[in-house]
Amino acid sequence: MLRKVFYISDGTAITAEVFGHAVLSQFPIEFESLTIPFVETESKANEIKAQIDDCFITTGERPLVFHSIVKAEIRNIIYSSEGLDYDFLNTFVAPLEQQLGIKASPIVHRTHGNMNASYEARINAINYTMDNDDGQTLKNIDKADLVLLGVSRCGKTPSSLYLSMQFGIKAANYPFVEDDMDNLQLPDELKNNKSKLFGLTIDPVRLHEIRQSRMENSRYSSLRQCRIEVKEVEMMYRRERIPFVNTTYHSVEEIATKILAMTGLERHMF
Instruction: Of 170, 115, 121, give the one whose Cα is nearest residue 141.
Output: 170
CB hemisphere CA count around 78 (13 angstroms): 29
pLDDT at 113 over 60: no
Spatial separation of the C-alpha atoms in residues 212 and 190, rounded to whole Å: 30
b/e map of 224-236 (b: 16 or more CB within 10 Å)? ebbeebbebbbeb
Of 20-24, 29-33, 87-91, 167-171, which range is least confident? 87-91
The whole-number pLDDT of residue 227 equals 97
The whole-number pLDDT of residue 269 equals 65
pLDDT at 105 over 90: no
The whole-number pLDDT of residue 89 equals 80
Which range has the top average pLDDT, 85-89, 138-142, 237-241?
A: 237-241
Annotated domain spans of the chain: 3-100, 119-263
Amino acid present at 238: R
How high is the mean pLDDT of the chain? Answer: 91
Q: Percentage of the chain surpassing pLDDT 90?
A: 73
pLDDT at 109 over 70: no
Q: Give yes or no for a contact between 75 and 39, defined as CB atoms under 8 angstroms apart.
A: no
Q: Give yes or no for a contact between 176 and 233, defined as CB atoms under 8 angstroms apart.
A: yes
CB hemisphere CA count around 241 (13 angstroms): 2
What would the pLDDT profile of 130-144 be if each residue is shown by its tens digit? Answer: 999 988 789 899 999
The whole-number pLDDT of residue 71 equals 86
- CATH class for the region spanning 119-263: alpha beta
What would the pLDDT profile of 174-221 be if each residue is shown by its tens digit? Answer: 999 999 999 999 999 999 999 999 999 999 999 999 999 999 999 999
